[in-house]
Amino acid sequence: MNFWTVSLFDPTPYDKVGDYRFIQIAKTALKKAHRVTHFTSTFRHTTKKQRFSESTTLEEGFGYAVEYVRSKGYKKNYSLERVAAHADFAERLIESFEGRQRPDVIFASMPPLSSAERVVRWGKANDVPVITDIIDPWPDSYIKDVPSFLKPAARLVIRPSYSKLRQILENSTAVTSISNGYLEWAKKNCKAIPRTACFYPALDLESIQESIQKYRKAEQRNNEVLRIIYVGSLGSSYDLPAIVEAAEVMQQKHPGRTQFVVAGSGPQKELVEEYADKLENLSYLGWISDEELLRQYALSDVGLIQHKNNLTQTITYKLFSYLSAGLPILNSLQSEMAAIIRENGVGFNNNNGDVAALVQNIERFMDDRELLTRYKENALALTREKGDSAAVYGKMLELFADVAGRKSIEAKS
C-alpha cells in the first residue's frame, strides 16, 4: 500500500523531539512494507522558526520520505498572521501533490481546517480516499477562553469555520481521532460522517521498556522517597502553580519523603525556578532530550498531568508517555482521560487547581507502596492493550487498507 500523511503540527524525525503519532504510524507501516510519504511545513509551530528556507525532501535515515513544503510562518498563535500562514500552507501543499503518483489513501490531520479542507477536496477530485484525523476540536478551541456572555457573538464571527468543518467531515471517506470524545464532538457537528474510529496516541512500548530497564539497572535511587515527575510545556494552560504548591505542602508535612521533578520550558519557567530555589524537594531540569526523558521516567514513580480550566482536550499525548514507562498518573483534566485513569486503576484524578486533593492523592501512593506497585502494573497492562503503537497503529493500517480496497472495488463496479 502506498499512502500519504499530512500534519502541520506533529514533529518529524528531523526535529528529534520524540516519536509522536505520525512518526509512529510511519514506523509501523514500514515494518509491514508499506510506502509512506509525509507532508508538513518548513515552518515549525512549536519553535516559530523555519526548518528550511525552501521546500525540502528528506528521506535518508528516516526510512520514508518527508516533504517539507515551503510556507509562511507566524509569531503569535492567536493572530491573523497565523490564519494567513495556514491558508498559504494549504495552497502550497496541494501544489506539491501535483505530478506525483496517486496514493492509495491520504491520512490528514485536522487542524488546521484550511489544509484539511483542501486535502479532502483534492481527494474527491482525484478519486483518492481521505481519512481525516481530529487532534483538536477546531473551531471550538478558538473560543474556549472567551467569557460566557460573549461566546454567542464569538460563534457568529467564526461561523464560516463551522461550515468548513462540516464540509471536511462530510467529504472524508472516514474520520479518526485521538479520542472518542472528539469523535462525539464531530458527530454533533455533522450527522453525515460515513465512518469513524478512535486511535489513542500510542508509543513503542517495547523500545521504551528496554530503555527504562537499562536505566533502572544502571542507576541507584532512594526507594523510600516517592519521586513525582512533570514533563512538558510550561505554558499558561498547564497548572504549574498547583504542582509547585503541592510540593511545598509535601515538604512541610512530610519532609524528606517526596521529590518533585519538573522538566520543560515556557512562560511559567520563572515560577518553577522560584519554588525550586526555596524547596529541597523540587528540582527543575529545564528542557531535556528524549534520552534524558526516559532516564528521568526510569527514576520516577508517578507522572503529573495538571491542566487549568476551559480546555477542549480529552486525551493528551502524555497519557501513554507516562503509562508506557510504568508510571501511574495524577491528573486534573476532566474528560475522557479522567475516566480511563479511574476505570483502569492507573492513577487518581483531582479537580483543576485543587491542591489539597492533589496532595491527598500523592499521599495515597506515598503511604501504600503495594497500591503503587499494583498501579504501575496496571499502567503497563493498559498500554499493551490500548497504547502500544504496534497494536494501535497496526489496526489503523488495517483501516487504511480497507478504505483503499473499497475504493478499488467501487472503481471496478
d(CA 280, CA 275): 9
> What is the per-residue pLDDT for 145?
64
> What is the per-residue pLDDT for 151?
74
Q: How far apart are the first and last CA of the chain?
A: 21
CB distance 28 to 394 below 8 Å: yes
d(CA 28, CA 32): 7
What is this structure's pTM?
A: 0.89
- Residues 239-259, mean pLDDT to the nearest whole number: 97
> What is the per-residue pLDDT for 39?
98
- Residues 301-305, mean pLDDT to the nearest whole number: 98
d(CA 382, CA 32): 24
Q: Do 282 and 224 belong together in one domain?
A: yes
d(CA 254, CA 93): 56
What stretch of H or E contains 226? strand 226-231
| Grid cell listed for 222 | 532512594
Q: Do 230 and 342 belong together in one domain?
A: yes
Report which of residues 179 and 410 the model is more confident about: 179
Of 138-147, 179-188, 199-208, 345-354, the least confident: 138-147
Q: Is 15 helix (H, G, I), strand (E, B) or coil?
A: helix
* 184-194 core/surface letters (b: 16 or more CB in 10 A; e: else): ebbeeebeebe
Report which of residues 46 and 203 the model is more confident about: 203
**Cβ-proximal residues to 338 (8 Å cutoff; 6+ apart), any chain:** 331, 349
pLDDT tens digits along 85-116: 999 999 999 999 999 999 999 999 999 999 99
d(CA 36, CA 406): 20
Q: Do 282 and 171 belong together in one domain?
A: no
pLDDT for residue 7 is more than 80 = yes
User: For 150, phi and psi rounded to 5 degrees?
Assistant: -100, -10
Name the pLDDT band for 10 (thresholds 50, 70, 90). Answer: very high
Q: Do 358 and 280 belong together in one domain?
A: yes
Q: Is 207 exposed, middle or buried (0-12, 13-18, 19+ CB in 10 A)?
A: middle
What is the rounded (10 degree) CA torsion for 83, 84, 90, 96? -150
User: For position 236, which CATH number holds?
Assistant: 3.40.50.2000
Q: Do 288 and 374 belong together in one domain?
A: yes
Q: Do 233 and 116 belong together in one domain?
A: no
Question: C-alpha 265: how far from its chain's center?
Answer: 17
Q: CA–CA distance from 222 to each of 95, 225, 256, 258, 301 (Å)? A: 57, 6, 11, 10, 11
CB distance 118 to 94 below 8 Å: yes
d(CA 385, CA 405): 27
What is the rounded (10 degree) CA torsion for 61, 63, 69, 73? -60
Domain that holds residue 239: 205-387
> What is the per-residue pLDDT for 412?
46
CB distance 18 to 389 below 8 Å: no
> What is the per-residue pLDDT for 408?
56
Q: Which amino acid would we find at residue 34?
A: H
Strand 329-331's sheet: what is its strand order? 282-286, 258-263, 226-231, 302-305, 329-331, 347-349
Residue with the three cell numbers 501504600: 368
Q: Do 266 and 362 belong together in one domain?
A: yes
Percentage of the chain exceeding pLDDT 90 = 81
pLDDT for residue 328 is more than 90 = yes
pLDDT for residue 413 is more than 50 = no
| Grid cell listed for 90 | 494549504
d(CA 24, CA 36): 12
Number of structural domains the chain divides into = 2
Length of the chain: 413
pLDDT tens digits along 148-189: 777 788 778 788 888 999 999 999 999 999 999 999 999 999
Of 70-79, 242-251, 348-357, the least confident: 70-79
| Grid cell listed for 312 | 477542549
> What is the per-residue pLDDT for 393?
97
pLDDT tens digits along 360-382: 999 999 999 999 999 999 999 99
d(CA 120, CA 130): 6
> What is the per-residue pLDDT for 156?
81
Q: Do 375 and 231 belong together in one domain?
A: yes
- Residues 254-279, mean pLDDT to the nearest whole number: 96
Of 142-156, 297-311, 339-353, the least confident: 142-156
pLDDT tens digits along 49-80: 999 999 999 998 899 999 999 999 999 887 88
> What is the per-residue pLDDT for 61?
84
Q: Which amino acid would we find at residue 176?
A: T
- Residues 249-274, mean pLDDT to the nearest whole number: 96
pLDDT tens digits along 186-226: 999 998 898 999 999 999 999 999 999 999 999 988 999 99
Q: Do 212 and 242 belong together in one domain?
A: yes
Helices assigned H by DSSP within 219-368: 240-253, 269-278, 290-298, 318-323, 336-344, 355-367
Q: CA–CA distance from 47 to each of 51, 76, 136 (Å)? A: 10, 11, 19
> What is the per-residue pLDDT for 366?
97
Q: Do 118 and 209 belong together in one domain?
A: no
pLDDT for residue 234 is more than 90 = yes
Q: Do 307 and 398 belong together in one domain?
A: no
> What is the per-residue pLDDT for 311?
61
Q: Is 189 helix (H, G, I), strand (E, B) or coil?
A: helix
Q: Do 184 and 220 belong together in one domain?
A: no
> What is the per-residue pLDDT for 392?
96
Q: Is 5 exposed, middle or buried (0-12, 13-18, 19+ CB in 10 A)?
A: buried
